[in-house]
C-alpha cells in the first residue's frame, strides 16, 4: 500500500510537472513561429528574445526543482551531511533576508547560541529561505516575521512566524503537497513547490515541519528534528 501510494505521488508529480512545463514551451514555440513568419525590425527580435528568456527561466527553475526532488528522494551523494553551525547559518540567512523589507515587513530573529546539527548546509538554507520568502509573500503591509532557533532536551526547533493573511484549516493539510496553492495565493507568483521542498528537506534530515495558522492573523511553520 505504501509503495502504491509512493508510485501514485510520483505519477502525479510527473503529470503536474509536465503540465507546468507545457505552458512556457507553447509560449516559446508560438513566439518563434510568429517572429520567423517574415523579416522584422531589430526591436521586435529583441522583444521576442526577452519573452523566450523569461519562459526558459521558468522552465529551467522547474527542471532544477524536479532534479532536486529526485535527489532528495534517492538520498543522492549530491547532498552530503556534515556538522553545521546552525546558530551561524540561521543568523546569516536572517541577516540577509531582513534586507528585503518587502511591504515594509520587518524580520526579527532570536537564535540560541552554540547550536550544531548534522545535516546539509545548502538544504537548510533553502528550507529557511523558502519559509521566510513565504512569510514575506503572504505577509501584510508593515507586518512582522519572527524566526526562532532553539533546542529541547533531544531536539532542535526552527520556526518562522508571520502576522500575515494566514491559511484556513482545511488547506493547512494540503499546502505541503507539490504544486498545491491555497486560495490565498495570488496567481502568477510561485509554483506551489516551496513548501513541499521544505518538507522533503525536513524528511531528508529525519525531521518534520508543522503549521499552525489563523486566517487573518498569521501563521507559524516549525521544523523539528531529533539530534542523532
Ligand atoms: P507558492 O509558490 O504558491 O508560495 P508554497 O509551496 O511555498 O508555494 O506554498 C503553498 C501554498 O501555501 C501557497 O500557495 C499559499 O497559499 C500557502 N502559504 C504558504 N506559506 C504561507 C504563509 N506564510 N502564510 C499564508 N499562506 C501561506
C-alpha pair distances (Å), 178 with each of 36, 74, 189, 226: 37, 17, 15, 25
Give 185's pLDDT tier (boundaries 50, 70, 90).
confident
Q: State the average pLDDT over residues 161-178.
A: 94
Q: Ligand 1: which of 68, 128, 138 to mutate, most ligand atoms within 8 Å of CB?
A: 138
What do you get for the CA distance between the two ends of the chain, in Å? 29
- For ligand 1, atom 3, the nearest C-alpha belongs to 192
Contact 134, 97 (CB under 8 A): no
Name which of 172, 191, 156 is nearest 17 in CA terms. 191
The mean pLDDT of the chain is 93
Q: Torsion-angle region of residue 120: left (phi > 0), alpha (psi -120 to 50) or beta?
A: beta
- Is the pLDDT assigned to residue 222 strictly greater than 60? yes
Question: Beta-carbon neighbour count of residue 178 at 10 Å?
Answer: 20
**CA 35 centroid distance within chain:** 35
Cβ neighbourhood burial of 53 (10 Å; 0-12, 13-18, 19+) = exposed
Q: Which pLDDT does position 228 carry in this prediction?
A: 76
pTM: 0.90
Residues with CB under 6 A from ligand 1: 134-135, 137-138, 162, 164-167, 175, 180-182, 184-185, 190-196, 219
- Please list the alpha-helical segments (H only) found in 108-191: 121-137, 169-172
* Interval 120-169: pLDDT, tens: 999 999 999 999 999 999 999 999 999 999 999 999 999 999 999 999 99
Give 188's pLDDT tier (boundaries 50, 70, 90).
low
Q: State the average pLDDT over residues 102-106.
A: 95
Amino acid at each position: 500500500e505504501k509503495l502504491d501510494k509512493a508510485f501514485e505521488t510520483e505519477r502525479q508529480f510527473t503529470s503536474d510537472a509536465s503540465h507546468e512545463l507545457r505552458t512556457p514551451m507553447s509560449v516559446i514555440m508560438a513566439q518563434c513561429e510568429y517572429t520567423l513568419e517574415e523579416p522584422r525590425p531589430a526591436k521586435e527580435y529583441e522583444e521576442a528574445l526577452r519573452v523566450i528568456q523569461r519562459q526558459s527561466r521558468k522552465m529551467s527553475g522547474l527542471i532544477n526543482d524536479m532534479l532536486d526532488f529526485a535527489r532528495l528522494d534517492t538520498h543522492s551523494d549530491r547532498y552530503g551531511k556534515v556538522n553545521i553551525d546552525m546558530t551561524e547559518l540561521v543568523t546569516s540567512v536572517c541577516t540577509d533576508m531582513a534586507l528585503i523589507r518587502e511591504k515594509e515587513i520587518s524580520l526579527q530573529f532570536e537564535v540560541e547560541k552554540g547550536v550544531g546539527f548534522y545535516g546539509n548546509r545548502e538544504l537548510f538554507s533553502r528550507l529557511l529561505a523558502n519559509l521566510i520568502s513565504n512569510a514575506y509573500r503572504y505577509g501584510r503591509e508593515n507586518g512582522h516575521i519572527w524566526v526562532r532557533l532553539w533546542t529541547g532536551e533531544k531536539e532542535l526547533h526552527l520556526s518562522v512566524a508571520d502576522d500575515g493573511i494566514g491559511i484556513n484549516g482545511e488547506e493547512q493539510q494540503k499546502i505541503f503537497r507539490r504544486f498545491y496553492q491555497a486560495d490565498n495565493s495570488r496567481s502568477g507568483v510561485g509554483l506551489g513547490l516551496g513548501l513541499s521542498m521544505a518538507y522533503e528537506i525536513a524528511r531528508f534530515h529525519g525531521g518534520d515541519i508543522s503549521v499552525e495558522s489563523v486566517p487573518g492573523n498569521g501563521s507559524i511553520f516549525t521544523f523539528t528534528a531529533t539530534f542523532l
